[in-house]
Each structure stands twice: as C-alpha cells, then as structure tokens.
C-alpha cells in the first residue's frame, strides 16, 4: 500500500506543479483575455478595451459564420478567456456549445459574468411572431442574427461590452468609458458627418433617425446640406429595391432605407433553384432593381446568371471585418459596404 501511495505522489507532484505554474502565468499577465466569436465583435471589443486586454476572434471574417468547424484549438482560446462574447440569436448554435464545453472554463458559460451575448440589447428584426417550423428553412426563433450590419446595433453592442468590462475590471472603468465615448464619436461622425454631430451630438441624431424624423428635423433646422457620412451617401437611394443572396442584409437595408425584395435562397439555408430564380428575374424587371448583394462565401453562379439576364449588377461584399482587406475594423467595414452599394445603386 505504501508503495502505491508513494508512486501516486511521484506521479501527481509534477502534474500539480504544471497546473500551478500555468495558472500562475495566466493571472500574472494581468491583461483581460477577451474571446469573441466573430471579427466584428472583436473589432468593437478592441476599440473599447484598448491596450488593457487581449482580444481574439474565432472566425476570420472570410467564412460563413453559421457553420464553423469546432476545432480543438478554438477550445484553447475559450479555456484562456476571461470574457466570451457571442453574436447570439442562434448564429453560433452549431459550433459554440462544444467550444465552451470543451474549454472546461466555467467562467464563460452562458449565464455567467464572463459570457456576454451581444444581442441582448440590440434592435432585432424578423423575430417570428407566429409558429415556425423547419419547413421554413433556417429560421431563427430569436430573430434574424445578422444585426451587426446596422451601425446603430454596433453602437449598442459597444455599450454592452463596455458595461461588462467595467463589471469585470472596475479598476479600469474610466479607460473603458473613455474608449466607448471615442468609439461612439467615430461611429457617429462616420454615420452623419462631423458637421452634424458637432452641432447636434451623435446620440441625438441617432434618436431622431430611430424615430424616423431625422430628415424632417434637419430640414427644419436648415442643416440638411451639412449632413455627411453614410447617411448622406445612402440618402439618394432611399426606397430602392435590392436582391440579396441570404437574409443577411436586412439590418443594413433597414437602417439605410433600402428594400430587400427577395433573396436568391428560396428559404434561408436552401441554395437557389431554377424556378425561384425565374421569379426573381421578373421581380428585378418590374422593380428596376439595380443591385444583387451577396457575401464572398456564397456561390456567385446564380447571381451572375441573373445579372446576365437583367440590368442588375452583382456586388460581392464581405459582411464581416476581415472578409475584405479594406474591412480592417468595424467602421471601415460599414464604410466599405456603403461605398460599394451606393456606387452600384447610382
């Protein structure tokens, strides 16, 4: 018996040493480790956390975020995370659970303070109000999860991340607050132009936009000519109809007054089919649609076929940071989308 115990001790002591040493190095660094499921969240988190944290993303922005391979190496990111931020609304349902489970990190499990569902406070669209079935395709019961393409939601998410960081790391509360303000100022300037934000304040402009009377108010104030940024760039195209591949551009379109008439996918997650495309040709012609919008990871064949038969133009744009060399961060991503769509709609 003695020999067994002695042997056990011999085996366990180096093990225990490894555990202690490694957990020591993680806490000694003192930097918060933030892991985001997507690059868009990571970009916003980086802006808020500044130099105080290490921010990584599971996706690179190039791939379809619905279907990510739950690689064991991602579990290592999750294991070392102090804060896990997800898009939520079912976007990561196919790959997030095994990552969090496999990480053995109880601090980032849903419901704990190390787990932030970024969708909690955002404006949601297409939340089903009637009974849904899988016969409708990949319909998310929580609503359409592509909300980050509405810059207002980006602004809201930034606030949520800042709030959580302050909770986790109150010592640096001031820095996080300052970074949040600076991120929002940049975003507001990019949205409305610095002339307007300077005079009226970004938040107020957003408030008017949400209420739907931004244009009226600006006209009354005689400031319409001072409007700049994405809002002014997209204003001439308000009400125009577009076609998209997947139901992923609904938030962007909603924010800038475009109308998504239909998707190339007959149902979310179901690839385009002949009869459906034929129907879309008619739609494009009667509504004089100029733009078919899709992400790089979807096959472009169907869209090019439509473009060859109609006057519509195919525009392939990344819908995540990192999906295009020009989409370096959240603001430049929206910048890119606005400049490409407005060019095609002209």
Partner 1 sequence: MKRFICTLAACAIALALAPWPAAAGQDAQGKIIEELRKEIQELRGEMNSQRQSYENKMGDMQRKLDALSRRVEVNKPSGEEELSAALAKQKGGGTVSAEGSSVAAAIQSMNPQASVILDTIYYNDDTDDGFSEMSHKMAGFGHSHGGDDEDEHHHGLKKGFNLRHVELAFSAEVDPYFKGYANVAVTEDNAEIHEAYIDTSALPWGFKLRAGKFFSNFSRINSQHTHDWDFVDAPLIYTLTLGDHRLLDKGAQLSWLAPTPFHLLFGVEALQGDNEMMFNYLGGDNLPEKNGPRLWVGWLKYSPNLFGGHGLEIGPYFARGVHQEAHDGNSDGTEDHWLNGHSQFYGVDVVYKYDSGKAYGEGDLTLQADYFRRAKDLSVEQHDLAPALIGKDRTATQDGYYVQGVYGFLPRWRAGLRWEQVGLTNKDTFPDGTSADYDASWRLTGMVDFTPSHFSRLRLQSAYGSYAMDGGEDQEAWQVWLQLMVSLGTHGAHKF
Among 185, 273, 287, 309, binds partner 1 (CB under 8 A): 185
By the 8 A CB rule, do 297 and 65 touch? no
By C-alpha distance, which of 288, 188, 190 is closest to 233? 190
Taking the complex as a whole, the smallest distance from the CB of residue 325 to partner 1 amounts, in Å, to 16
Q: Give the binding range for partner 1 (CB under 8 A) out of 165-173, 192-200, 218-226, 325-333.
A: 192-200
Q: 71 or 276: whose CB is closer to partner 1?
A: 71
Which 89-148 positions form the footprint of partner 1 (CB under 8 A)? 90, 93-98, 101-104, 106, 109, 120-125, 127-129, 134, 137-138, 141-143
What is the distance between the alpha carbons of residues 110 and 162, in angstroms, rounded to a whole number? 18
Taking the complex as a whole, the smallest distance from the CB of residue 57 to partner 1 amounts, in Å, to 13
R_g of the chain, CA atoms, integer Å:
23
What is the distance between the alpha carbons of residues 142 and 162, in angstroms, rounded to a whole number? 24
> ∠ CA 105-108-111 to the nearest 5 degrees?
130
Asked if 197 interacts with partner 1 (CB under 8 A), we say yes
Site string for partner 1, 50-89 (x = CB under 8 A): ----------x-xxx--xxxxxxx-xx--x----------
Which 220-279 positions form the footprint of partner 1 (CB under 8 A)? 246, 269-271
Taking the complex as a whole, the smallest distance from the CB of residue 136 to partner 1 amounts, in Å, to 11
Asked if 210 interacts with partner 1 (CB under 8 A), we say yes
By the 8 A CB rule, do 293 and 265 touch? no
Site string for partner 1, 317-346 (x = CB under 8 A): ------------------------------
**Two tokens at 58?**
């599971």
Q: 90 or 154: whose CB is closer to partner 1?
A: 90
Q: 52 or 64: whose CB is closer to partner 1?
A: 64
What is the distance between the alpha carbons of residues 96 and 84, in angstroms, rounded to a whole number? 11
By the 8 A CB rule, do 166 and 176 touch? yes
**Two tokens at 233?**
């760039």
Which 14-43 positions form the footprint of partner 1 (CB under 8 A)? 18-19, 22-23, 26
By C-alpha distance, which of 158, 160, 147, 201 is closest to 183? 158
Asked if 9 interacts with partner 1 (CB under 8 A), we say no
- CA dihedral in degrees (337, 339, 345, 346; nearest 10)? 180
């Amino acid at each position: 018996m003695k020999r067994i115990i002695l042997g056990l001790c011999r085996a366990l002591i180096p093990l225990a040493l490894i555990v202690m040493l490694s957990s020591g190095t993680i806490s000694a660094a003192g930097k918060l480790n933030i892991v985001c499921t997507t690059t868009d969240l990571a970009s916003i988190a980086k802006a808020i956390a500044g130099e105080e944290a290490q921010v990584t993303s599971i996706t690179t922005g190039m791939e379809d975020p619905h279907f990510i391979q739950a690689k064991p190496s991602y579990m290592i990111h999750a294991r070392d995370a102090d804060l896990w931020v997800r898009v939520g609304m079912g976007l990561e349902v196919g790959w997030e659970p095994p990552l969090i489970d496999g990480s053995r990190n109880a601090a980032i499990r849903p419901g704990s303070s190390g787990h932030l569902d970024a969708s909690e406070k955002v404006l949601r669209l297409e939340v089903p109000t009637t009974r849904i079935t899988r016969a409708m395709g990949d319909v998310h019961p929580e609503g359409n999860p592509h909300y980050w393409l509405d810059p207002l939601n980006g602004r809201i998410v930034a606030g949520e991340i800042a709030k959580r960081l302050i909770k986790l790391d109150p010592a640096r509360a001031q820095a996080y607050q300052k970074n949040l303000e600076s991120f929002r100022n940049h975003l507001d300037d990019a949205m409305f132009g610095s002339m307007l934000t300077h005079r009226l304040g970004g938040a107020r402009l957003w408030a008017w936009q949400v209420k739907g009377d931004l244009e009226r108010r600006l006209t009354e104030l005689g400031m319409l000519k001072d409007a700049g940024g994405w809002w002014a760039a997209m204003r001439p195209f308000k009400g125009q109809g577009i076609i998209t591949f997947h139901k992923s551009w609904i938030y962007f379109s909603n924010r800038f007054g475009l109308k998504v008439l239909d998707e190339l996918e007959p149902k979310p997650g179901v690839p385009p089919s002949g009869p459906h495309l034929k129907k879309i040709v008619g739609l494009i012609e009667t509504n004089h649609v100029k733009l078919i919008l899709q992400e790089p990871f979807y096959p472009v064949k169907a869209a090019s076929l439509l473009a060859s038969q109609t006057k519509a133009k195919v525009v392939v744009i990344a819908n995540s940071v990192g999906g295009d060399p020009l989409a370096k961060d959240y603001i430049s991503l929206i910048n890119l989308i606005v400049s490409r769509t407005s060019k095609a709609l002209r």
